[in-house]
Amino acid sequence: MDTTVYRPLDPPTPGGRGGDPSTPAVRARGLAKVYGTGAATVRALDGVDVDFAAGAFTAIMGPSGSGKSTLMHLLAGLDTASSGAAYLGGTEITTLDDGALTRLRRDRVGFVFQSFNLLPMFTAQQNITLPLELAGAGLDHEWFDLLVTTLGLRDRLTHRPAELSGGQQQRVAIARALIAKPEVVFADEPTGNLDSRSGAEVLSFLRRSVRELGRTIIMVTHDPTAAAYADRVVLLADGRIAGDIADPTPESVLTGLDALRSLDGAAGHVGAAAGQGPVSR
């Protein structure tokens, strides 16, 4: 596990803003993914029911192999489920064909990866606006300016990725993920390649984009301190939802992870162990 310690740069403010709280941005119902057959069968996800609120920053945590990446890939339409359903807003994505999934990922979802995935020959500005070019959509200059200001990229727009620090590159990747105002941004270990200060900045920007810009973010992370920037932490163990922590702190997340280890595969839910009551969905 990455033991990097991140220090929040600004104090947390309660609650998320924006989105329609009555409709979850993302839902899973009985979602399952099975790899292999016979003795080699792995149930990577084993019947997951979970809602992710619009306008909230949610972290997904759990031990290695607990199914975090599998869940994110199914929710983002990057992989197909073995059974069950995943929804983006009102759209059941588990029944869409490849073409519809490609359009959905392009038009309604943003991605931030551990390795930034910027195009090296393009400037920061060109990288940010690339999704609009690919979609044939026009640039909302006001939104672009707001993103660039919020992410502190104003004086870096003409630089190529090789001329930017890791933290700056990830901030460009976040602006790119947000430029088309997607319904949800999936972030997969977004601070995994960053030092603690750059990681803290990136996490603060992710949180600001939820609180101030009304976006919805679902982040997979191994780091309890990173998870504590979120409004909520969903814990996975053995392909199942094993805990749910509202308003997490590094301490409550660590307590929740420790409780998971002590459950050691037994069925259970660690919300109470982490100082939270079970969250009804």
Binding site for ligand ATP (CB under 6 A): 35-36, 42, 44, 62, 64-70
73 three-class SS: helix
Neighbours of 2 (CB within 10 A): 15
In sequence order, what E strands does the chain have? 26-35, 42-52, 57-61, 83-88, 91-92, 109-113, 184-188, 217-220, 232-237, 240-246
Which lies closer to ligand ATP via its Cβ, residue 167 or residue 239?
239
Residue 69 and residue 154: Cα distance in Å, rounded? 33
Closest approach, Cβ 8 to ligand ATP, in A, equals: 24
| Residue with the two structure tokens 């702190």 | 249
Closest approach, Cβ 130 to ligand ATP, in A, equals: 27
Q: Are 89 and 25 in contact (CB under 8 A)?
A: yes
Closest approach, Cβ 18 to ligand ATP, in A, equals: 28
Which lies closer to ligand ATP via its Cβ, residue 164 or residue 237?
237
Closest approach, Cβ 86 to ligand ATP, in A, equals: 14
Residue 278 and residue 281: Cα distance in Å, rounded? 10
Which lies closer to ligand ATP via its Cβ, residue 61 or residue 210?
61
Measured on CA atoms in the order 239, 244, 245, 251, is the torsion positive or negative? negative
Q: How far is CA 123 from the centre of its chain?
A: 25
40 three-class SS: helix
Which lies closer to ligand ATP via its Cβ, residue 15 or residue 36?
36
Closest approach, Cβ 268 to ligand ATP, in A, equals: 18
Which lies closer to ligand ATP via its Cβ, residue 22 or residue 41?
41
Closest approach, Cβ 199 to ligand ATP, in A, equals: 17
Which lies closer to ligand ATP via its Cβ, residue 48 or residue 147?
48
